[in-house]
Structure formats: C-alpha cells, structure tokens
Amino acid sequence: MVDAQKRYLLPSLLQMKCPNCRKGRVFTTKHILPLNTCLQMHERCTECHVKFIKEQNPGYGINYVLTVMMLFLNLVWYYPIFGIRYDDNSLYYFLTVSVIITLLLQPWFMRLSRILFLYFTIYYHSYRK
C-alpha cells in the first residue's frame, strides 16, 4: 500500500514541482508564456522552503539531449507518413518540419531541462522542515 504522503516522481516532475517536497512550485509562472518570464524561478520552495541551488550549469546539456531526441522522434512519425528519399526534396521538408517543431517546443524543453537538473541535485525529502 502506498503512503498517502508520498508523491510520485513522474507527475511531480512533469508538473514542475519542487524536487524536495514535490508540492511547491519551482517557477514563478505556471506556463511558458510570456517567454521573457518562463525561466524565472522562486528563490525558495513555496511549501518546504528549501533553497533551490543557483547552479553553475542550469541544464544546458540536458536541453541539448532533449533537442536531439526530438529530432529523432520527428523522424519516427515523419518517415512512415511522408517518406524520405534522396532524389527529391523530401529530406529538406523533413528538416524544415523538424526545426519548426523543435523551435516551438524549445521553451518547454528549457524548463524541463532545468527541472531535471534540480531533480538530479536535490533529493526527495533531503531537507526536512
């Protein structure tokens, strides 16, 4: 039987909650719009008051991995539907569609990479009240 206080990792990660208590919000805004405030973080968790690490690496490497993964995932759905051949311009169409989709998802990837980095550095219930 699962403890009622235990928060699951994946839902709290996707909802971008605090890695320590998995209840408080990390970012000041819930959504990625407006883009100029999408990466602003609270200084401390709104629930457990753990200080979020002002890291030297804000997750750029993880963002790169997510971007490359998105380019390969575009190939998975694009190839069976439209096909890619070398003797016509379908390769250029694929690259154009992939770049557009990746650019549209980039703000969400940036937030997700920062959250993943925090989840790697701050453990669940590592700081108690």
Where do the domains of the chain lie?
9-121
Dihedral sign of CA atoms 122, 109, 58, 23 in order: negative
**Does residue 52 contact residue 43 with C-beta atoms inside 8 Å?**
yes
Gap between the Cα atoms of 41 and 43, Å rounded: 6
pLDDT tens digits, 84-93: 888 888 889 9
Spatial neighbors of 108 by CB under 8 A, at least 6 apart, are 32
List helix spans (H) across 1-129.
9-14, 60-82, 90-121
- What is the DSSP code (8-state) at residue 88? S
Dihedral sign of CA atoms 31, 33, 39, 43 in order: negative
Which of 38, 19, 45 lies closest to 115 in space, CA to CA? 19
Q: What is the pLDDT of residue 96?
A: 92
Backbone φ and ψ for 15, nearest 5 degrees, come out as -85, 0
Per-residue pLDDT 10s for the chain (129 aa) are 444 456 788 888 888 888 888 888 888 888 888 888 788 888 888 888 888 766 565 667 788 888 888 889 999 999 899 888 888 888 899 999 999 999 999 888 888 888 888 888 877 776 555
Bridge partners of 41, per DSSP, are: 27
- What is the DSSP code (8-state) at residue 74? H
Q: What is the pLDDT of residue 2?
A: 45
Enter the pTM of the model.
Answer: 0.75
